[in-house]
Amino acid sequence: MRSLKALHTGEETMDVSLRHPETMARNVRRGRQIVRCVGLQLALPAAILAAVFTGIGRADDAGRGSGGNVQAKISYCKDCHGPSAQGYRGFFPIPRLAGQQPEYLENQLRAFIEHRRTNNIMFNVAHALSPAMVTALATNFRDLNPAPIGGAPKQLVVAGKKIFEDGVPDANIAACAACHGPEATGSGQIPRLAGQLYPYVIKELTNWGKERGQNSARPDTSAIMSPVAHSLTRPQIEAVAAFVSYLK
Amino acid sequence: MDGSIRRASTRSPNRQGRWLASAVSLGLASQAAIVAMMFTTAAYAEDAPAVSKHDVDAKLAYCEVCHGVSAQGFHGYYPIPRLAGQQTEYLKNQLQAFVEHRRTNNIMFNVGHVLSPAMIAALAADFKDLDPKPLSGGPKDLVATGQKIFADGIPDGKVPACASCHGPDAKGNGPFPRLAGQLFDYVVSKLTNWDKERGQNPAKPDESAIMEPIAHNLTGPQIKAVAAYLSYLE
């Protein structure tokens, strides 16, 4: 494990996830793993059937998410999101879930199922989760607090901090802190951004209108961010993404 | 989640004409208020270049990112207040208060300090005409107690009836803000922290001093009760 760690130096390390004994070997074949994640879920038709009604009767089957099932599912999430859910740079930037607001996480999992948020991998992941399991996972991730994985250009942090705290009033860009909080921890339906992956934040803000609020029959709170994401320039997005990526 | 879904808002093309007219009549009709507030609102008497509808609409969209698409308020990290139906004079004064550090709020300082007087007047006039339902209410079991405090005050506790200044329907009047439909946790937060947030610039005393002893004399449970009552008022 030390030799693997030695391959990575400074802030750029991805070795946090490599330290985890169970994931160390798997990290070498990360690409295949994602395919396997999808395949696993397709092999569980009963669970998929149970999940069909997740949007309606969320409290109906409480208890399913208890015990070893939860631990197994958490381990499955961490295959891609990192052993401490600190996020991971796979083929795609895979977001940090650690410390995330449970209400936001639950809403996003429903958003994948309802095609409000388009992501085939996460659709398949979420489709198999019972409401009780979703709650159990969200609670678990809420309590994790690993250090950010880092790696963003540090020279952008100062500019990003100013945008985060003050917005860009002349350009009608609201202060991120108003909703996400002064330390970017989020609140309720509003996500934590602290420690989120630099490339993930850039990707989401750049593609907001193509990834969120995609089901016109089910408008959702992602609309709040649409004008903000649209108004931010690419350099502003990179700056604010760099700032939040280092927040603990 | 659906509670905060944004609805499509329609804006009258003639609104700018109306706000000019109403701003003039408000000014003429409230001389007593003007005297009381002469240190804070004098700047607004100056004529400023008109703002374009495009710029006003863009600024409104920006306000509504945080305050809700119908300005009904929003629960961000902080409770973000309802602006819909708010008194124009109060809104203008508060924006000026942020800029002058009479009211301390870094985010709203940054918002306020780039707004021209004409833009502020346009925004205030727009919000005045919005009338969405209250966003969400406080504990319902507190409403009856809150209604009594609002209507009658607490004579023993040196709390005058809220209705005497804010009106029997809590719609406010001129410098006195509308409270109807205001967010429960916002009202609780303001009344609890009044002397830490308002009247913070000793060089520019303002009418927030009127509320200071009242906020101070209200107990925590009384604050919650009156906030719960207001949060359901349409």
> Does one domain contain both A125 and A40?
yes
Q: Domain of A85: which CATH number?
A: 1.10.760.10
User: Are A97 and A77 a contacting pair, CB within 8 Å?
Assistant: yes
Which pairing describes strands B79-80 and B74-75: parallel, antiparallel, or unpaired? antiparallel
**In terms of DSSP H, where are the helices of chain B?**
15-29, 31-36, 38-41, 53-67, 88-99, 106-112, 117-128, 143-152, 163-166, 184-192, 194-197, 212-217, 220-232
More confident residue, A61 or B87: B87
What φ, ψ does residue B83 adopt, rounded to 5°? Answer: -110, -15
Q: Tell me: pLDDT of A174 over 90.
A: yes
Q: A151-190 burial, b for 16+ CB within 10 Å, e for fewer?
A: bbeeebbebbbbbbbbbbbeebbbbbbbbbbeebbbbebb
What pLDDT does residue B50 have?
87
Chain A residues close to B73, C-beta within 8 Å: none
> Does one domain contain both A9 and A124?
yes
pTM of the model: 0.75
Rounded-to-integer distance, Cα B1 and Cα B113, Å: 33
Where among A142, A171, A202 does a domain terminate?
A142
Searching chain B, which residue's CA lies closest to the CA of residue A187? B77
Instruction: Dig out the tokens for A221 from the structure.
Output: 């709170």
Task: Taking residues B31-45, report their average pLDDT.
Answer: 44
In this complex, is the C-beta atom of B1 within 8 Å of any C-beta atom belonging to chain A?
yes
> Does one domain contain both A112 and A20?
yes
In this complex, is the C-beta atom of B106 within 8 Å of any C-beta atom belonging to chain A?
yes
Rounded-to-integer distance, Cα A138 and Cα B4, Å: 22
Residue type at B102 in one-letter notation = R
Residue type at A170 in one-letter notation = D
CB contact under 8 A, A167 and B5: no
CB-closest option in A167, A179, A219 to B76: A179
What pLDDT does residue B161 have?
96
Chain B residues close to A163, C-beta within 8 Å: none
What pLDDT does residue A57 have?
38
Q: Among residues of chain A, what percentage have pLDDT more than 70?
A: 73
Residue A148 in any domain: the answer is: no
Name the domain count of chain A.
2
> Does one domain contain both A130 and A237?
no
Task: Taking residues A20-39, report their average pLDDT.
Answer: 39
**Architecture (CATH level 2) of domain B16-128:** Orthogonal Bundle (1.10)
Rounded-to-integer distance, Cα A173 and Cα B117, Å: 20
What pLDDT does residue B49 have?
67
What pLDDT does residue A14 have?
36
Where among A115, A142, A169 does a domain terminate?
A142
In this complex, is the C-beta atom of B52 within 8 Å of any C-beta atom belonging to chain A?
no
What pLDDT does residue B136 have?
82
Chain B residues close to A167, C-beta within 8 Å: 107, 110-111
What pLDDT does residue A67 have?
64
Chain centroid to Cα A242, Å, comes to 16
Which residues form the domain of A206? Answer: 154-245
Task: Taking residues A43-51, report their average pLDDT.
Answer: 38
pLDDT digits (tens, 9 = 90+) for A175-211: 999 999 999 999 999 999 999 999 999 999 999 999 9
Where among A98, A114, A142 does a domain terminate?
A142
In this complex, is the C-beta atom of B110 within 8 Å of any C-beta atom belonging to chain A?
yes
Which pairing describes strands A88-89 and A93-94: parallel, antiparallel, or unpaired? antiparallel
pLDDT digits (tens, 9 = 90+) for A77-118: 999 999 999 999 999 999 999 999 999 999 999 999 999 999
User: Are B65 and A231 a contacting pair, CB within 8 Å?
Assistant: no
Residue A147 in any domain: the answer is: no
CB contact under 8 A, A173 and B59: no
pLDDT digits (tens, 9 = 90+) for B71-127: 999 999 999 999 999 999 999 999 999 999 999 999 999 999 999 999 999 999 999
Rg of chain A's alpha carbons, rounded to an integer? 18
> Does one domain contain both A134 and A220?
no
More confident residue, B4 or A217: A217
User: Are A157 and A93 a contacting pair, CB within 8 Å?
Assistant: no
What pLDDT does residue A66 have?
56
Chain B residues close to A179, C-beta within 8 Å: 66, 74, 76-77, 80
CB contact under 8 A, A178 and B76: yes
Task: Taking residues B45-66, report their average pLDDT.
Answer: 85
Instruction: Dig out the tokens for A122 from the structure.
Output: 């996460």
Rounded-to-integer distance, Cα A9 and Cα A21, Å: 20
For chain A positions 126-185, those within 8 Å of chain B (CB to CB) are: 165-167, 169-170, 172-175, 177-182, 185
Rounded-to-integer distance, Cα A195 and Cα A181, Å: 14
What pLDDT does residue A27 have?
41
DSSP character at residue B143: H
CB-closest option in B4, B62, B66 to A221: B4
- Interface residue of B105, B107, B113 to substitute, partner A, most A CBs within 10 Å: B107
As a residue count, chain A comes to: 248
Residue A125 in any domain: the answer is: yes
Long-range contacts of A83-86 (CB under 8 A, 24+ apart): A83/A16, A83/A17, A83/A19, A83/A20, A83/A22, A83/A23, A84/A16, A84/A20, A84/A144, A84/A146, A85/A141, A85/A144, A85/A146, A86/A16, A86/A17, A86/A144, A86/A146, A86/A147, A86/A148, A86/A149, A86/A195
- Kindly report the average pLDDT of chain A as a whole number: 80
Range of weakest confidence among A66-80, A124-138, B156-170, B209-223: A66-80
Domain regions of chain B by residue span: 16-128, 140-232
Task: Taking residues A160-179, report their average pLDDT.
Answer: 96
Task: Taking residues A54-74, report their average pLDDT.
Answer: 60
Nearest to A188 by CA among A224, A231, A235, A152: A224
* Model confidence band, residue B19 (pLDDT cutoffs 50, 70, 90): very low
User: Cβ-count burial of B7 within 10 angstroms (0-12 exposed, 13-18 middle, 19+ buried)?
Assistant: exposed
For chain A positions 205-234, those within 8 Å of chain B (CB to CB) are: 219-221, 223-224, 227-228
> Does one domain contain both A16 and A64?
yes
> Does one domain contain both A170 and A83?
no
> Does one domain contain both A80 and A38?
yes
Chain A residues close to B107, C-beta within 8 Å: 165-167, 175, 177-178
Cβ-based contacts under 8 A for chains A and B = 71
What pLDDT does residue A245 have?
98
More confident residue, B14 or B99: B99
**In terms of DSSP H, where are the helices of chain A?**
2-6, 15-18, 21-27, 30-42, 45-51, 68-81, 102-113, 120-127, 131-142, 157-166, 176-180, 198-206, 208-211, 226-231, 234-245
User: Are B90 and B170 a contacting pair, CB within 8 Å?
Assistant: no
> Does one domain contain both A192 and A123?
no
What pLDDT does residue B157 have?
85
Q: Tell me: pLDDT of B210 over 50.
A: yes
Q: Which residues contact A159 (CB under 8 A, 6 or more apart)?
A: A236, A239, A243
Chain B residues close to A176, C-beta within 8 Å: none
Task: Taking residues B143-171, report their average pLDDT.
Answer: 95
Residue type at B23 in one-letter notation = A
Q: Tell me: pLDDT of A214 over 70.
A: yes
User: Cβ-count burial of B145 within 10 angstroms (0-12 exposed, 13-18 middle, 19+ buried)?
Assistant: middle
Nearest to B59 by CA among B149, B142, B120, B134: B120
Chain B residues close to A55, C-beta within 8 Å: none
DSSP character at residue B181: T
> Does one domain contain both A94 and A123?
yes
Q: What is the ipTM of this complex?
A: 0.73
CB contact under 8 A, A175 and B58: no
CB contact under 8 A, A221 and B78: no
Q: Tell me: pLDDT of B9 over 60.
A: no
> Does one domain contain both A169 and A132?
no
> Does one domain contain both A41 and A122?
yes
Searching chain A, which residue's CA lies closest to the CA of residue B7? A219
For chain A positions 183-202, those within 8 Å of chain B (CB to CB) are: 185-190
User: Are B79 and B73 a contacting pair, CB within 8 Å?
Assistant: yes
Please name the fold of domain B140-232. Cytochrome Bc1 Complex; Chain D, domain 2 (1.10.760)
Searching chain A, which residue's CA lies closest to the CA of residue B76? A179
C-alpha separations of A64 from A50, A67, A132, A157, B125 in Å: 11, 9, 6, 43, 53
